[in-house]
Structure 1
Amino acid sequence: MADKKKVRFIINPISGGKAKKDIPSLLNAHLDQSKFDMEITFSQSGNHAKELAKEAVELNKDLVVAVGGDGTLNIVASCLVHTNTPMGIIPLGSGNGFARALNIPMNTIAAIQLLNTGKSLCIDSGSANGTAFINVCGFGFDAYVSSKFAEAGTRGLKTYARISIKELNQYKPKEYKLVQGLEQQIHKAFVLAICNGPQYGNNAYIAPLAEFADAWFDITLLKQVSWTNFVGLSVDLFLRRIHQNKQTNTQRVKDLIVIQPEAGYVNIDGEPVWFDEQVSIKMHPKSLTIIVP
């Protein structure tokens, strides 16, 4: 009989406002014990989750499974890019955009069972001034809302929607300079999203044509969002046609520099990260392995 694969589970106990106390018993019941030698850990903070993921690589674990939302996935994945250690996913966040786009089941038991039968897929990742991202790097309103969301006392879709609606008319478009080699573009944008994957989360598709393994970023630039076009833009997001809206400018890039009007928060896979004015975006093709259906 082949040796069991050594797998470490890294569980974020607070992601998505969902309790995780039942996860160990579900893992014991539905993970194939004949295939896996299981270790369950709970992260105490983002830095602790990073330590657990780095240690798993050093210990030559065969698989590291992130249990949480897009922020948790980002932390774990940032330690696994450019290694031979694959990442499994049990999505328990607010939006779960990365997992949804890869057809990872939202049902916890089904996501656990997928680890028994899933296949490996090598995908691209990105970095912003060296900070890894696997799904979306966003400037403008989505970064602003993510910073407010991080400060909120509650998590979940309702909280995110409430903050977005409250701040919609207060936020003003900003001017961004995009630099690719010797070429420069200047855009005034409400949202500037640099996408490795197609959706923010909850099936809101900000870059419907984006693919995880094509070695390109898809950029979606929303010029202006207000109450007069909010409903139409929202419908287009969920119907996967935002790239066809007249308020949208799209393009595909590999590496670029984004120059903001001032230092500020950038949305890195759903979490706000503070950056200086100049942000260097780099594509890292086929740099991360994920367990998928």
Structure 2
Amino acid sequence: MNPSRRLGVVVNPIKFDDLADVKEQIAKVCADHGWGEPVFVETTEEDPGVGQAHEALEAGVDIVCPLGGDGTVRAVATALVGTDTPMGLLPGGTGNLLARNLDLPVEKIGDALDVVLTGTDRRIDVGLVTLFPDSKSAEPLKGDDPPTEEDPRRDDEEVFLVMTGIGVDAEVMANTNEKVKGVLGWPAYVFAGISRMFTRGFMVELSTGGGDPQIQHARSVIVGNCGKLQGNVELMPDAKLDDGILDGVILAPKGAFGWGAVAADLASRHRRGHRQIVRMTSPAIRVTTGAPVETQVDGDPKGEQYGLSTRILPKALVVRVR
């Protein structure tokens, strides 16, 4: 019993019909485990969780838990990167993708809290992404100040924990109806995806820092820190959260037959293989396009961009696991 230990919870209030009941449930589980009264900080439209996570840290909590969607998880992680304070994962959104990739409970808050309060700490990698809102920003930077050990991120870099992508995957995120998602859960993305399968695609130049850039037509380019999607789909089966490497995949199917082949490849966990799926690994992956294309970061739509640049920050975040 250690009532001096406290949990910080950064909660997105719009995710819950009865937030008071959720808070009461969390407080009871904390008390049952001998922890003190948890500190709750609610996100706002202006701040999705970064400032709230810092507020929780200033209150002296021992662990900070995002309670919302994957966007709340990303915001809290942004505040915790480079610290020794662990992040605990509570299910509050549709995807809960980081928790799925860590094989943590994603159905019941109580089960997840048991892990948070009794589990062990694990250091995982963090992805950093710079978006290119115009063609000029997509040009390689020269002479910019490198990150320092005290501040490992540049001002133009955003944190991602799961995947960032450009193309069909981002179009699906941007066009999924929130009401439908609230009723159906993750299958709502499938319905949104069907309507995006027959878009024309785009030309992409991809560089991994070694050799000549690869130029080809694509429907989607995804860079991941881990590889599991909803429905237990392994998009990047070799991706690991602590290997210091990013995994990338270019999807370039043509028509319904091509998408069917891609689906068969994913369903067979890549035993069949397909020439319209190109894979790569590198600590840094840069993607540029000749025209603006819809983009997402950990499921958050970012609008049309001229590409993105990603790199890995090895073992920069502590996460509470089983």
Q: Same fold (TM over 0.5)?
A: yes
Kept in 2, the 8 Å contact 1:207–1:242? The answer is: no
* Residues 229/262 of structure 1: CA separation in 2 closer, same or farther (3 Å cut): closer
Give 1:186's aligned amino acid.
Answer: I
Instruction: Tell me the equivalent position of 1:71.
Output: 71
Kept in 1, the 8 Å contact 2:244–2:313? The answer is: yes
Kept in 1, the 8 Å contact 2:77–2:87? The answer is: yes
Kept in 2, the 8 Å contact 1:6–1:36? The answer is: yes
More strand by share: 1
Report the 3-state secondary structure (helix = DSSP H, G, I; strand = E; otherwise coil) of the residue aligned with 2:217.
Answer: strand
Point out where structure 1 has 5 or more consecutive residues left out of the alignment. none
Kept in 2, the 8 Å contact 1:96–1:202? The answer is: no
Give the one of 207, 227, 244 matched to 1:179.
Answer: 207
> Could you report, residue by residue, the CA deviation over 1:216-261 in whole angstroms, capped at 9, with x for unpaired residues?
0111111115322434433543553388333211111111321122
State the superposition RMSD in angstroms.
2.4
1:69: how far off? 2.4
Matched, 1:128 2:129: yes
Q: Which moved more, 1:78-87 or 1:132-141?
A: 78-87
* Residues 242/148 of structure 1: CA separation in 2 closer, same or farther (3 Å cut): farther
Distance 2:26 2:3 in 1: 19
Give the one of 193, 196, 204 matched to 1:164.
Answer: 193
Kept in 2, the 8 Å contact 1:196–1:216? The answer is: yes
Distance 1:262 1:124 in 2: 31
Instruction: Tell me the equivalent position of 1:30.
Output: 29
* Residues 102/225 of structure 1: CA separation in 2 closer, same or farther (3 Å cut): farther
Distance 1:223 1:80 in 2: 36
- 1:8-27 correspondence to structure 2 within 5 Å: 8-15=8-15, 19=17, 21=19, 22-27=21-26
Instruction: Tell me the equivalent position of 2:235.
Output: 206
Query: Rg: which structure is higher?
Result: 2
Matched, 1:84 2:112: no
Matched, 1:215 2:244: yes
Q: How many residues align?
A: 289
Instruction: Tell me the equivalent position of 1:52.
Output: 52
Distance 1:242 1:99 in 2: 26
Instruction: Tell me the equivalent position of 2:269.
Output: 240
> Could you report, residue by residue, the CA deviation over 1:255-279 in whole angstroms, capped at 9, with x for unpaired residues?
1321122334321111112464252
**Seq. identity, %:** 26
Q: Which moved more, 1:236-245 or 1:109-118?
A: 236-245
Report the 3-state secondary structure (helix = DSSP H, G, I; strand = E; otherwise coil) of the residue aligned with 2:255.
Answer: coil
Instruction: Tell me the equivalent position of 1:230.
Output: 259
> Could you report, residue by residue, the CA deviation over 1:193-220 in whole angstroms, capped at 9, with x for unpaired residues?
1110112333222111100000001111
Report the 3-state secondary structure (helix = DSSP H, G, I; strand = E; otherwise coil) of the residue aligned with 1:25.
Answer: helix
Instruction: Tell me the equivalent position of 1:279.
Output: 308
Q: Which moved more, 1:218-227 or 1:127-136?
A: 218-227
Kept in 2, the 8 Å contact 1:199–1:208? The answer is: yes
Kept in 2, the 8 Å contact 1:242–1:248? The answer is: no
Instruction: Tell me the equivalent position of 1:196.
Output: 225
Instruction: Tell me the equivalent position of 1:119.
Output: 120
* Residues 30/92 of structure 1: CA separation in 2 closer, same or farther (3 Å cut): same
Point out where structure 2 has 5 or more consecutive residues left out of the alignment. 131-156
Give the one of 247, 252, 271 matched to 2:281.
Answer: 252
* Residues 257/95 of structure 1: CA separation in 2 closer, same or farther (3 Å cut): same
Give 2:39's aligned amino acid.
Answer: E
Kept in 1, the 8 Å contact 2:246–2:285? The answer is: no
Distance 1:202 1:273 in 2: 24
Kept in 1, the 8 Å contact 2:42–2:52? The answer is: no
Report the 3-state secondary structure (helix = DSSP H, G, I; strand = E; otherwise coil) of the residue aligned with 2:83.
Answer: coil
Give 1:132's aligned amino acid.
Answer: V
Give 2:127's aligned amino acid.
Answer: G
Kept in 2, the 8 Å contact 1:203–1:238? The answer is: no
Distance 1:85 1:192 in 2: 33
* Residues 212/20 of structure 1: CA separation in 2 closer, same or farther (3 Å cut): farther
Q: Which moved more, 1:90-99 or 1:226-235?
A: 226-235
